[in-house]
Amino acid sequence: MTILVTGAAGFIGFHICKKLLNDDFNVVGIDNLNDYYDPDLKKARIKNINAFASANSLSWHFKKISLENQKQLDNIFSKFKPKIVVNLAAQAGVRYSLKNTKSYINSNLVGFSNLLESVRIFNVENFIYASSSSVYGGNKKFPFSESDNVDHPVSLYAATKKSNEILSHSYSHLYKIPCTGLRFFTVYGPWGRPDMAPMIFAKAILNEDPIDIFNYGNMQRDFTYIDDISEALVRCCFKQAYPDPNFKNDNPEPDNSWAPYRIFNIGHGSPINLMSFIEILEDALGKKAIKNFKPIEPGDVIKTSSENTKLNSWINYKPNTSLEVGIIRFAEWYKSYYL
């Protein structure tokens, strides 16, 4: 079976590709290798996958293309005929969406809709895509549940992710395409994104530069280790969404449907205070941070917390790597890669 992974040079995409290859699937990865963050890190991830596939005689192909290019996208589908598509390509970042709105529209809306068209035309059997915990916006009910209303995003990034869920539902309804959306909660680990707190803080701490701590440290995040994300996502690849026989049109749930459509949280389920996270990272790096406390930024949310019951019931799995263990693994990788 051939599986197509978009955003293959990204943090999560890299890990998913290696896990699928290790399970002996034919994997096709695509990525536009944009410069939102260091393209050299993205290229290093692809180089790592290339070496892994070559050393183990695995079926791996990588193509540099953009989802905004429908013709190139269709050519990939025509040539490789994937049966499962995992969409991890997106313009990421909440704060960056305040500066460069067009990139979010192009990638997360135009590119996503192009991908749905290719999935429809080439009869893909299962479509898995990345949503985000940011869709919960200003919600104050914790933990966040898939049955909660998510109509009040506080960033453009969140709005595009909510739009992906809506577009997927329409395709699922109209064309009977099994679609599963996964709302990721603050993913961290080796080969992580340089624009996220673990990488930003690690770099600053080791360079003895101050770290910006927003909302004066009064924030909580549901940090989720990358291996837990990979395991859950791959399990979802091999379980198609199906119509919910108990769905009630007069009292609809937002995370399921009469169509083959599902939405799930993927989070650890144990939010931690930002200051506690910094202390754990300091211990793992063996160095104290210089702290610069600042007010909250537009688009930020104060707390995220994942309810995982539905995911656990769906795939018999829930994230279980403790932050202490995950941060040690991250810190070891960071020092080996950058120092």
Q: Residue 97: is its pLDDT beyond 80? A: no
Domain boundaries, the chain: 2-185+225-267+306-320
Q: How far apart are CA 225 and CA 187, in angstroms?
A: 6
Query: DSSP E strands: which ranges in 79-133?
Result: 84-87, 126-132
Q: Residue 101: is its pLDDT beyond 90? A: no
Torsion angle of the four alpha carbons 168, 171, 177, 180, in this order, in degrees rounded to the nearest 10 = 10
Which pLDDT score, from 0 to 100, does residue 100 have? 80
Q: Residue 299: is its pLDDT beyond 80? A: no
Which pLDDT score, from 0 to 100, does residue 294 have? 94
Mean pLDDT of the chain: 95
Q: What is the pLDDT of residues 214-257, one digit of tens each?
A: 999 999 999 999 999 999 999 999 999 999 999 999 989 999 99
Q: Residue 211: is its pLDDT beyond 90? A: yes
CATH of 2-185+225-267+306-320, one of 3.40.50.720, 3.10.310.30, 2.40.10.120, 3.30.1330.200: 3.40.50.720
The residue from 129, 157, 225, 334 that is catalytic is 157
CA atoms within 13 A on the CB side of 57: 0
Q: How far apart are CA 220 and CA 82, in angstroms?
A: 39
Which pLDDT score, from 0 to 100, does residue 279 have? 97
Which pLDDT score, from 0 to 100, does residue 93 have? 75
Mean per-residue pLDDT, 49-68: 97
Question: What percent of the chain is modeled with pLDDT above 90?
Answer: 89
pLDDT-derived band at 138 (thresholds 50, 70, 90) equals confident
Which pLDDT score, from 0 to 100, does residue 271 have? 94
Q: How far apart are CA 118 and CA 79, in angstroms?
A: 12
Q: Residue 99: is its pLDDT beyond 90? A: no
Alpha helices (runs of H) in the chain, residue ranges in sequence order = 11-22, 39-55, 70-80, 101-104, 112-121, 156-175, 197-207, 226-237, 274-285, 309-315, 323-338
What residues contact residue 251 under an 8 Å CB cut-off, 6+ apart? none
Q: What is the pLDDT of residues 179-202, one digit of tens each?
A: 999 999 999 999 999 999 999 999
CA angle 216, 132, 111 (to 5 degrees): 125
Contact 52, 28 (CB under 8 A): no
Contact 150, 291 (CB under 8 A): no
Q: How far apart are CA 11 and CA 7, in angstroms?
A: 8
Is 171 a residue of the active site?
A: no
Q: Residue 300: is its pLDDT beyond 90? A: no
Mean per-residue pLDDT, 211-216: 94
Torsion angle of the four alpha carbons 22, 186, 332, 288, in this order, in degrees rounded to the nearest 10 = 180
Q: Which amino acid is at 186?
A: T
Which pLDDT score, from 0 to 100, does residue 11 have? 97
Q: What is the pLDDT of residues 272-289, one digit of tens each?
A: 999 999 999 999 999 999
Burial of residue 312, with CB atoms counted within 10 A of its CB: 0-12 exposed, 13-18 middle, 19 or more buried: middle
Q: How far apart are CA 111 and CA 22, in angstroms?
A: 29
